Structure 1
Amino acid sequence: YRELRLENIKNNIVELKSKGYQDKDICVLTNQNKYATEIVSFLIKNGYHIISSESLLLKNSPEVRMIIAFFKLLLNTGNQIQLANFIENLLVIQNNQMSFHKVYTEASSQLENGIDRLMMHLSYPTVKEEEMSGLSVYELTEYAVSNLFGEINNNIFLHFFLDFAYDYQHMGDGSLASFVEYWEKKCDKTYITMPDGVNAIQVMTIHKAKGLKFESVILDFIPRNDKTTRKDYWTDLELDGFSELQATMLPLVKDLEFVDLEHIYAEEEEKTELDLLNMIYVAFTRPVSALFILSQKKEKSQNRFTSYIQNFLTKQALKPDETEYEFGELKKREKKKEEKQKQQKNKRIVLKDMLSASWKGRIKVAPSEPVFWELISSTPADVYGNLVHKMLSEVFVHTDVKKVVTRYLLSGIIDEHEAMRIQHLIENVVNHKELKAYYNNDVLIKNETEIITLKNGNRTIHRPDRVVIQDDELIIIDYKTGEKNDMHTEQISEYAGYFNKLGYENVKKMLVYLNEAIEVLSV
């Protein structure tokens, strides 16, 4: 029956389309997710465009699953499960009829010699582990897309997966391991978003169709056994000699009548029947013009749904031995005027391919930030001081330190050794006993806030490194490198004078010297 009903669904679609119904006018409803998945798979194989939560789920794409398996292999080269996942999806994508066991066994022996050897064996000679070193999550994803599936690619799942990687890169810590972990948390709820008006058949469960309407509905209702919604029932006990046994769980079966609890089973049966009636009501009231119902009539035993249908047919004086019944006439559907206007208005440009090629070697980027230009002309000490100042300007609270350092590391501005050194320095600043209170969310923080002064008609801009407002106190923090200098004291005192003029009476001044040992000087 399961296979026959799929053919009947296809025949219903053919009949609807012969009467002028478009794909977007058709919705297939079923009563369980597993049946929806069956229908989606069957219709896609038969060349239909489908929209459903199952078909739009990003993780259902073999290309996406293949990339995730590839990432997990990069993290753990010896992971045989991920090698199997990679090969399984590879064979699906290539529509390759080769034995999975044979391909897997050969690949497993190559994996012992590293990723490069494995990729070469699987006909991906352009994939090089050395080239992937130091790439950001997004760049690595784009590298995988272009090298595994070609630089010109219009696979919508890969487009959305690239968007997923791009969005993560702006909120995660940048590591591949964290990205894979984030994917595992989100993959069950990450869907492709489709624009309104896409001409595709919708497939969904009856439950998800609540509140919606469709021009035509094909209802695939596979009868379930007449089981109650719940299988078990908890009840209190008062048994002589068993005082410690105060409650027990009993099966919800008809045999409850032997312990005087038949009313519990009866109540549950009523709830189950009401749930079924609600489901039938939702399904039968979704279509506007046409409803097709597919179900199975069993010879030996009738379930509730087929009993309802059978009783209806009997009241209509129809022959009970027939396999198909038709009420009304499926008329040819004419497009409404507003539909034609909307169709003309919503002309879309279809993206035929996606160019994904590395920009390295093609363009040169000239950074505009002064700290980067000074890499060319300044002494190493000046560069280091300016770089630390720039990074501190991006640290608002103590939890920002690692994110800022990681961002500079991934951008190639600093190497791993420098990253460790600078992170240690900045953490010493934000955790310093005299400064710690000024790097949390309980205070108002302004980094490099501007003060504009006017003297003799000339405007001057002053930028204290950090200004913190805590209750009625304003704290000025200025970072310095090198030896102490009287000019530092004069400068921060000048800043304080400006804030006094702005109405801040209680101003605290702190100079922070960024040497091997952090030194804080209150002025």
Structure 2
Amino acid sequence: MSEVIIYKASAGSGKTWQLTYEYLRILFSKPEDYKHILAVTFTNKATEEMRNRILEELRQMAAGEKTHLARRLVEEGIAYSGDLEKKASHILRILLHNFSKFTVTTIDSFFQHILKSFAREAGIPFYRELILDDKMVLEETIDQLFFHLNEHPFLQEWLVDFTLERIRQGSSWNVHKEVSRLGNEILRESYPGTLATEQPTFTDDQRKEWQGQLFGKEKKLKENLIEIGQQACQIAKRFGLSQDDFAGKSRSVFAYFEQLANGTMKDLTDTILSALTDETKWFSKTSAKKELIRQAMDEGMQTLLARSVDILRELNKIQALARNFYVWAILSDLAGLLQKYLAEQNLHLLSDTHKILYHLIGRNDAPFIYERAGNTWLYYMIDEFQDTSSLQWNNFRPLIANSLSQGKTSLVVGDVKQSIYRWRNSDWRILAREIMHDFPGRNKTEVLPLNRRSFRNIIEFNNAFFFEAIDCLKDKYCEQTSLNTEHDLVGLMKEAYEDCRQGVPEDKMQTTGFVRVELYDAKTEESRTPLRLVETVCELFSSGYRPEDVAILVRTKNEAKAVASWLLNTDYYPPGIAPPGIITEEAILLSQSPVVRILCSLLRYLKNPDDQLNNLSLLNELFMYLEMQLPDGREYPPVTFTRETTENFLPPEFVSQAAELKKLPLQILCGRLASLFGLDRKEQQKPYLFSFMDQVNEAVRKGISDVYGFLDFWDKNAGNLSLTIPEKANAVRIMTIHKAKGLEFPVVILPDPVWCIDHNPTQPPYLWIKQNLFGNEECTWFPVRYGKQLAQTDFRETWLKEKMQTFVDNLNLLYVAFTRAREGLIVISDKDDKLYNARNLIMDVCSRLNDTIVQKQEEDGKIICCRGSFPEPKAGTLSKGEPFHAQDNDGLFATRFALLVKKHASGYFSEKGELVQTARDEGKLMHTLLSKIRHAEDVPAVVQQAVLEGKISKNEAETIQQRIALVLADPEMKEYFTDAWKILTENDIVLPGGETKRPDRIMVNQGKTVVIDYKFGEQARPYHIRQVKEYMELLAEAGFPSPCGIVWYPHLNRKERIDL
């Protein structure tokens, strides 16, 4: 029977092997079906691993090797031992000869392939560029938002409200940074613009009116509550009752009414909620005024209590919406600007693919989709299914349903416990429940039972730990939500970890391994974790482990920095023992390289030699890292770092060439600077230098060709650009748990696991709630901040679901960290927090584990839990680690750079000797020619001169002349190429100190000055406008009348007009 097989694959259970087996199972049954199998996973690395695993198994079988997978195929009667080699060789040959049909791909690549087939229906022009980096486009959009802020007074108000609220919360005053963080909301699937029901568009006036209605409702509800409080207090007074007569006194129902009467609206307590149905919450058993209180209740206090609770819940709801109304308004405007920017720049976001396909697939049958895509897939295999998003699953589901209708079987493989990417839209509930509900009676769950990664003691410890951990979290969840253990959400938590116990394979039964959990008193003044971490690392080295065997896992990059500083602190080491080599995500950032920092400082100097802060940074780097010699008679540091004083310390050959260097193409400029300062001769820094040049090349590919644009690009991206380090580098690895997923290490150390189990209240996420507040025909999605106050509103169910998922998410982090260990697992912590965190959870779980699981020791403010014996030290085995060196030949940089320059030279010669222009080179040529043209009649002469200078061939001249004439015929621009203007082209603006600026075209006529700058890059960018604005300011200072500016993009048929 056709069905969907759901493999539950806990950590180390061999899911890649299982996928490979299932893939070959189909091929050995029907070799021609290779073209009908679609296997998808989530990363390029996983895709490569799976594809190589399939080919390697076939190669081994074809070579006669009796692999475990081959024996399994024979045992199940899928293949016969007599012709196994021949059949494997045949299948391997088919795959290699038809490699394009061997479809093992990432989920994004698959859906992008489908979307290309539907580009016309989706309204996507064929020439649109696919953008992988959503955040880069978002930053460009936010730049546009701030640049045009004066044109949007309502948006200014929303931003002021947003900023004031963030300041009240103690967040950053950097508005741009905060808006960037907020803007990430529109890239999430949870944002209403990515849901099936699109967010309606509203005007500023409508939104302002609705905000006023919200505040009006809030005011009215508060007045009602004050009135209720006053009425209840009057009733009590009539019966001669006071606060002391009621049960709980200051926490009594009467005290609650007094607070309402005074205008104090607090959260509803359990006492107040219980008093709605339980009269014993009003008075104590021994109360002398029990009957009077009953009479007061009957006279209206009971009714007033019920009314107040309803109104207070409504007030909490209105306040949750009102406090975030400006967030909704800002995001609505930003989303609109983003769509406008994408259309103008002919861009398409990769993240939009799933949304577009959701609408298309929902309207079409699966066979039609296959036909358009040019494939007929019958078998689906989805890896890492716990990381699938709702939209992705909505797009896959009809395809799998069609496969089932064809009598074929599909499979998914995943593990809810390893779902740690919900911030990337993954939804583990699909694997936990939804897929089974989607295919009732046509699904089968298989659990891969054995852990083939870890040693026995680690497997048995993790089995017991996580079985208890989910119980601890379930109890904590029920305590904080007042739910009972039979609630569906509590049941879903338990289901997530129902398969957490794994078996020990026979080949692991004789292994031991060790676990050590050290929890120190968090109240001591000085942290013990740094010293204990270093001592533990030294113990491991003494026991024979090498630095590359040890991984230290942390939650955030900032924690990785702290751990690295501990390991490098020589004060923690015994005499004669040096710190080991370490590799961290932060340490391999390009921006941490002194060579890269010097290059960037030099570029900034060329951009603005009067930037004293940059001059200070540049000279410090040169003297500290390059150990540059001080000029005779100079003392460092100088009193100031002006242009003049800085030039006194820089090499004369650089200072004298500065003006010429600025005119060089960006790639050649960076290479010249590296050579001039000897940066290309720093052996250990060559990997950083090469990677930096790759980024320069990438920037140029994106149309950024000058220093201004590159520095803007660098400032936005430097925090994410890093080296790729060889896996075998002998150094201790420090990495985040998210980066470690899918990896394994002999020993894992987890220092100070103190991430919150719930959301941190200082940075709660936004939840999107569908509401019809103002009687509109359509409901509107509004953002509310996650928090316990939502428990007392209509949004309680949304809050409960988010809280449950967050609890599981943060337990999953602990699961992923613990299961990376092969031989040893060590936890060290002495930190604590007022909020319930992972350390608290570890303490609670360890207190529940019995002596058959761990040996416990409590003394002197510390708790140590052990399973297995820590390895004994071995004489003479302490490894200090080896620093990471990049092996490179002296001439490699020059060779590589020469190739890079050659690739992007002004043009190549074809076999016929004619110049072949790339699009970017053609843009540069057009820019050069337009800069020389004063009037439209000059075009033929300028083009002929270009032929004489060898810039273009005779065959190209006529075409280029026609294209320029077409550009100059633009109705909006042709007036600027007439005799009516006094025209200056290729004229420098000389600044004090000698620096020059060169606008493409300056025109003066009747008290007006116009600056034109031509741009032929692939897209318009905000710094283009900043550049022209700077020219205008300089011309105004020089006395030119009323400067205005135009950034002209002839190839985009676009002009940006700028006024001072």
TM-score scaled to structure 2, two decimals? 0.31
- Structure 1 pair 27–397 and aligned structure 2 pair: CA distance change class (3 A): closer
811, 815, 822: which one aligns with 1:288? 822
Give the C-alpha shift of residue 125 in structure 1. Answer: 4.8
Distance 1:390 1:242 in 2: 68
How many Å apart are 1:250 and its aligned residue?
Answer: 3.2
Q: What is the aligned partner in structure 2 of residue 213 from structure 1?
A: 744
Could you tell me which residue of structure 2 aligns to residue 502 of structure 1?
A: none
Choose from 742, 753, 768 the match for 1:222.
753
Q: Compared with structure 1, are the counterparts of its residues 433 and 44 closer, same or farther at alpha carbon in structure 2 (3 Å cutoff)?
A: same
CA distance in 1 between counterparts of 2:833 and 2:961 reads: 81
The separation in 2 between residues aligned to 1:227 and 1:136, in whole angstroms, is: 52
Alignment equivalent of 1:393, drawn from 914, 927, 930: 914
Question: What's the offset of the Cα at 1:326?
Answer: 2.8
Kindly indicate whether the alpha-carbon contact (under 8 Å) linking 2:750 and 2:828 is maintained by their aligned counterparts in 1.
Answer: yes
* Letter in structure 2 aligned against 1:284: F
- Hey, what's the Cα distance between the residues in 2 that align with 1:10 and 1:158? 28
Partner of 1:160: 690
Report the 3-state secondary structure (helix = DSSP H, G, I; strand = E; otherwise coil) of the residue aligned with 1:278.
Answer: helix
Distance 2:886 2:756 in 1: 47
Q: Which residue does the alignment assign to 1:330?
A: 870
Confirm or deny that 1:257 pairs with 2:791: yes
Distance 1:239 1:136 in 2: 57
CA distance in 1, matches of 2:946, 2:745: 61
Q: Confirm whether residue 74 of structure 1 aligns to residue 606 of structure 2.
A: yes
The alpha-carbon deviation at position 120 of structure 1 amounts to 2.9
Relative to structure 1, the CA distance from residue 39 to residue 405 in structure 2 (aligned partners, 3 Å threshold; closer, same or farther) is farther
Separation of aligned partners in 2, 1:394 and 1:332: 72
Q: How does 1:38-77 map to 2 (within 5 A)?
A: 38-44=562-568, 46=570, 47-77=579-609
Separation in 1, partners of 2:605, 2:706: 15
Q: 1:169 to 1:298 in 2, by over 3 A?
A: closer
Partner residue, 1:267: 801
Matched-pair contact (CA < 8 Å) for 2:527–2:830: no
Does the C-alpha gap of structure 1 residues 420 and 255 become closer, same or farther in structure 2, counting only changes over 3 Å?
A: farther
1:399-410 matches, within 5 Å, as 399-402=920-923
Equivalences for 1:284-363 in 2 at 5 Å?
284-296=818-830, 298=832, 302-316=836-850, 318=856, 321-331=861-871, 351=887, 354=890
Q: Which residue of 2 aligns with 1:448?
A: none
Q: Write the distance in 2 (CA, Å) between the matches of 1:41 and 1:202.
A: 13
Distance 2:912 2:612 in 1: 42
Kindly state the Cα deviation for residue 73 of structure 1 after the two structures are TM-superposed. 1.0
Provide the residue aligned with 1:6 in structure 2.
530
Task: Give the equivalent residue in structure 2 for 1:26.
Answer: 550
Choose 200-209 or 132-141, whichever is displaced more: 132-141
- Alpha-carbon distance in structure 2 between the residues aligned to 1:108 and 1:395: 47
Residues 49-58 or 10-19, more deviating: 49-58
- What amino acid does structure 2 have at the position aligned with 1:267? K
Bigger helix share: 2
Q: Which runs of 5+ in 2 are unaligned?
A: 1-521, 571-578, 629-634, 875-883, 896-907, 929-944, 967-1060
Matches of 2:910 and 2:735, distance apart in 1? 56
Offset from partner CA, 1:56-103 (integer Å, 9 cap, x none): 11112133112201112112222344324425645764799xxxxx97
Q: Give the whole-Å Cα distance in 2 for the aligned partners of 1:55 and 1:144.
A: 24
Note closer, same or farther for the CA distance 1:247–1:194 as it changes in structure 2 (3 Å cut): closer
Distance in 1, matches of 2:683 and 2:755, equals 41
Q: Decide whether aligned partners of structure 1 residues 251 and 125 sit closer, same or farther in structure 2, where only a CA change above 3 A counts.
A: same
Could you tell me which residue of structure 2 aligns to residue 108 of structure 1? 641
- C-alpha separation in 1, matches of 2:536 and 2:947: 64
Report the CA distance between 1:314 and its aligned residue. 3.9
Relative distance call for 1:181 and 1:143 in structure 2 (3 A) is same
Letter in 2 for 1:219: L
* Offset of residue 26 of structure 1: 0.7
Partner Cα separation in structure 2 for residue 44 and residue 419 of structure 1: 62
Tell me the residue number matched to 2:657.
130
Give the AA of the match of 2:657: E
For residues 871 and 568 of structure 2, what CA distance do their matches in structure 1 show? 27
Cα offsets for 1:437-472 (capped at 9, x unmatched): 9xxxxxxxxxxxxxxxxxxxxxxxxxxxxxxxxxxx
Secondary structure of 2:734's partner?
Answer: strand
* Distance change >3 Å, CA 418–CA 165, structure 1 → 2: farther
Offset, 1:177: 4.8
Query: Is this contact kept in 2: 1:297–1:306, CA < 8 A?
Result: no
Whole-Å separation in 1 of the counterparts to 2:706 and 2:921: 16
CA distance in 1, matches of 2:591, 2:716: 12
Alignment of 1:81-92 (within 5 A): 81-87=613-619, 89-90=621-622
How far has the Cα of 1:358 moved from its partner? 10
Identify which of 232, 239, 255 aligns with 2:766.
232
Aligned equivalents of 1:95, 1:217: Cα separation in 2: 39
**Deviation digits for residues 30-55 of structure 1 (CA, Å, limit 9, x no counterpart):** 01121112223443455432223221
When residues 328 and 169 of structure 1 are mapped into structure 2, their CA distance, relative to the original with a 3 A threshold, is closer
SS in 2 for 1:222: coil
Give, as a single letter, the amino acid of the residue that structure 1 aligns with 2:593: S
In the aligned structure 1, how far is the partner of 2:610 from the partner of 2:539?
53
Look up the equivalent residue of 1:211 and give its one-letter code: G
1:325 counterpart letter in structure 2: C
Q: Which runs of 5+ in 1 are unaligned?
A: 97-101, 335-347, 360-386, 408-416, 438-523
Distance 1:57 1:81 in 2: 22
Q: Deviations along 1:394-445, whole A, 9 cap, x unmatched?
A: 22566543568999xxxxxxxxx979965588775333559999xxxxxxxx
Q: What are the within-5 Å matches in structure 2 for residues 429-440 of structure 1? A: 429-433=958-962
Q: Normalising by the residue count of structure 1, what TM-score does the alignment of the two structures yield?
A: 0.58
1:121 aligns with 2:655: no
Q: State the one-letter code of the partner of 1:37.
A: K
| 1:223 and 1:296 in contact (8 A); partners too | no
Deviation, 1:226, is 4.4
2:683–2:888 Cα contact (<8 Å) kept: yes
What is residue 520 of structure 1 aligned with on the other side?
A: none
Q: Distance in 1 between matches of 2:530 and 2:915?
A: 59
Q: Secondary structure at the match of 2:648?
A: helix
Please list the CA deviations of residues 166-194 of structure 1 after superposition, one character each: whole Å capped at 9, or x if unmatched.
Answer: 85699578655555455456534432233
Once the two structures are overlaid, the 10-residue window that deviates more, 260-269 or 58-67, is: 260-269
Q: Percent identity?
A: 21
Which residue of the other structure, out of 802, 811, 825, is the alignment partner of 1:277? Answer: 811
Q: Residue 273 of structure 1: SS of its match in structure 2?
A: helix
Contact 2:756/2:837 (8 A) holds in 1: yes
Q: Alpha-carbon deviation of 1:393?
A: 1.5
2:544 and 2:909 map into 1 onto residues whose CA distance is 68
Are residues 1:192 and 2:723 paired? yes
Task: Note if contact 2:557-2:585 (Cα within 8 Å) is conserved in structure 1.
Answer: no
Residue equivalent to 2:212: none
CA–CA distance in structure 1, aligned partners of residues 740 and 800 of structure 2: 29
Any conservation in 1 of the 2:688–2:723 contact (CA below 8 Å)?
Answer: no
In the alignment, the residues of structure 2 paired with residue 143 and residue 308 of structure 1 have an alpha-carbon distance, to the nearest angstrom, of: 56
Q: Which amino acid aligns with 1:195?
A: P
**Cα distance 1:59–1:48, how it changes in 2: closer, same or farther (>3 A)?**
same
